[in-house]
Copies of this chain bind each other. A is one copy, B any other.
Amino acid sequence: MPHIDFKNDLPGIRSALAYSPETAAPLGVLAEILLRSDEGLTRAERELIATYVSYLNDCFYCHHSHGEIACIYLDGDREIIDQVRNDFSTADISEKLKGLLRIAGKVQQSGKAVTTDDVVHAKNSGATDKDIHDTVLIAAAFCMFNRYVDGLATTTPKDMSSYPLRAKQVAEKGYGNHIYTEKQPA
């Protein structure tokens, strides 16, 4: 049961966003830029970083939600998502993304855990300054989103078929206000 009365029965972060539209607005803009920008990192890479950090933070709702969105951008290749969760160092992904996931994993622990060696390694694998900036901010933002979702004990849908349906809506329409106001397809 949620820790506060959201005055709605939406699942996950949507209940908190609908409860507090004034903070939902900048959170939606931030998610839209960080996860759907086509400059530098691909949308699949951005969602994989979000999924990985949410997995490390043990946020069931976020890691399954963003895993399903990543899956859409990866043309349904669910195996890559499982590989990233289990051990990204052996996953079928670029060396650049491996370098960035290493940084994201450090950010999940603490900003101070990121070392010069982590950054040099990512740069040597092809990451630009902007890629590193975006990775650090995506990882940091999911340390916020995950805590927002679990710190208020929002409801986690147990029906796993709801996640891909929701992911399709987000992949098509993005992270605008409809994310909490629009009814999910049955």
**A20 engages B141 (CB within 8 Å):** no
Contacting residue for A26 out of B4, B29, B103, CB 8 A = B29
Q: CB-defined interface of A120-160 with B at 8 Å, one 1/0 digit per residue?
A: 00000000010011001101110111111111110000000
* Complex interface: stretch among A67-75, A90-98, A107-115, A164-172: A107-115
**A40 to nearest B CB, angstroms?**
11
**A111 engages B3 (CB within 8 Å):** no
Chain A interface mostly helix, strand, loop or mixed?
A: helix
The answer to whether A58 has its CB under 8 Å from any CB of chain B is yes
Contacting residue for A133 out of B19, B103, B114, B119, CB 8 A = B19
**B26 engages A26 (CB within 8 Å):** yes
**A23 engages B19 (CB within 8 Å):** no
Provide the residues of chain B in CB contact with A16, threshold 8 Å. Answer: 133, 137
The answer to whether A116 has its CB under 8 Å from any CB of chain B is yes
**A136 engages B147 (CB within 8 Å):** yes
Contacting residue for A23 out of B25, B107, B137, CB 8 A = B137
Provide the residues of chain B in CB contact with A137, threshold 8 Å. Answer: 16, 20, 23, 148
Provide the residues of chain B in CB contact with A58, threshold 8 Å. Answer: 110, 112
- Nearest residue, chain B, Cβ from A122: B3
The answer to whether A106 has its CB under 8 Å from any CB of chain B is yes
A144 to B57, CA, bound (A): 13
Lowest 10 CB-CB distances: which A-B pairs, in order? A111-B150, A140-B147, A111-B151, A144-B144, A4-B129, A26-B26, A26-B29, A111-B147, A136-B151, A26-B30
